[in-house]
Chains A and B, each alone.
Chain A
């Protein structure tokens, strides 16, 4: 099983009891998010909508690429990878 680290944005720490990240397993980003939500149950509400889809304003940064929405189901990950869970943002 592939273990990766999923990192949370600051606003989500209200749901993670302050945790900044969690180790999760999976072969794709979507599987890793499912596992993270199983390890921290409060996360499920925030990652997935009623239809079970990853909320569409969420993006993941993996190996310096941005992965969104349905792409997460196919996007493969490797042991030791880091997945940065982020919301859409802008500078200025």
Chain B
């Protein structure tokens, strides 16, 4: 069985393929577009979210990873919806032509795509969730999420107010989780009609919670692992309560002096329930401690983390973004991640050893691996 890895970058996507996970072929597609996320539906169709500062956001699809065509529709807010003022202010900081002055609520980026229960979900900024039930031909907002009371006062994160994580329960289509920077982690138990914040036990600052990424096994959905701005956590009850799990992880000072682990991506190998993260040195630096790039793994439900750096470089002053890590669900499990300096590393053995399978790419935003 082979693997395809869609590596989304600031200027296009590298599609890496291999039948052995040792020798890799690469093609570069969607040139000129920031490829921010990808997914594959139950029918085997691939979806890639693209973005351009001038020409906006769209979704491309492919049935063979060779030819791509753009869908006619994409997630969009309704004309006249009022945007979050602070998100608009952040977007306007690079707005040399005044695009965002008096802006309505705009979808300026798709941060995540998630296929489940015959639907495709999209998490976007300004923070919201959209769903398509016809393979992307049409999209509708999940109004219960997008129109929550108080959302106009939600505090954006460094990159704006974005819904970057969507998870679902394989056994219950009514249960959906959404992570928003820097508001926190939401759960719906009624198919998206109502939502509750699930941040109990997570260290907070200024009354908000900045979840970075959450992973789980959809077949064991209530056990979740959370890489937060303010540390590493897990829950066994779907987010009702969270506990710190940092034994073995490097910790450092955040800008306000709180000591904890820090990083962005977190992924799981579902077969073994092993969890992988890439710790960085605090929110001031966002690089591997001392430049020693390492993936950390827990195999015992967060009881202990171990560093896995066999084949990874020293002197790597890079960042690994929240969407830039993935697993392939083969046996043994493969793990993949991409860096801000355009390198992709892969391990065919749950992190036992790593090799560089691509280099010289633009800044990497998203990495998704698919067994083929």
Contact = CB atoms under 8 A, between A and B. Distances in A.
Interface of A: 10-12, 14-15, 17, 41-42, 44-47, 49-52, 55-58, 68, 87-88
Nearest to A17: B69
A12 B32 CA distance: 9
Nearest to B30: A14
Contacts of B98: 56
B105 A50 contact: yes
Given A14-B32, A50-B79, A56-B98, A87 B55 contact: yes
B150 to A, nearest CB: 22
B85 to A, nearest CB: 17
A49 B32 CA distance: 20
B97 A11 contact: no
Which of A15, A42, A50, A57 has the most CB atoms of chain B within a 10 A radius of its CB?
A50
A58 B30 contact: no
Interface residues of B, number: 34
Contacts of B105: 50
A55 B56 contact: yes
Given A14-B32, A14-B50, A88-B97, A45 B73 contact: yes
A59 to B, nearest CB: 9
21 contacts: A10-B32, A11-B31, A11-B52, A14-B60, A14-B70, A15-B55, A15-B58, A17-B69, A42-B58, A42-B70, A45-B73, A45-B74, A46-B52, A49-B56, A49-B106, A50-B78, A50-B107, A55-B54, A55-B99, A57-B99, A68-B97
Interface string B298-332: 00000000000000000000000000000000000
B58 A46 contact: yes
A19 to B, nearest CB: 12
B30 to A, nearest CB: 6
A11 B52 CA distance: 9
Given A15-B70, A50-B79, A45 B99 contact: no
Contacts of B175: none
B33 interface: yes
B104 interface: yes
A50 B106 contact: yes
Contacts of B104: 49-51
B334 to A, nearest CB: 29
Contacts of A11: 31-33, 52, 55
Contacts of B106: 49-50
A50 B54 contact: no
Given A14-B70, A88-B54, 17 more contacts: A11-B33, A11-B52, A12-B55, A14-B50, A41-B72, A42-B71, A42-B72, A45-B56, A45-B58, A45-B73, A50-B78, A50-B79, A55-B56, A55-B99, A56-B99, A88-B96, A88-B97
B135 interface: no
B77 interface: yes
Which of B30, B80, B99 has the most CB atoms of chain A within a 10 A radius of its CB?
B99
A55 B55 contact: yes
Nearest to B70: A42
Nearest to A89: B54
Nearest to B12: A14
Given A14-B30, A55-B54, A57-B53, A50 B76 contact: yes
Interface in B90-140: 96-99, 104-107
B46 interface: no
B370 interface: no
A45 B56 CA distance: 7
Interface in B317-367: none
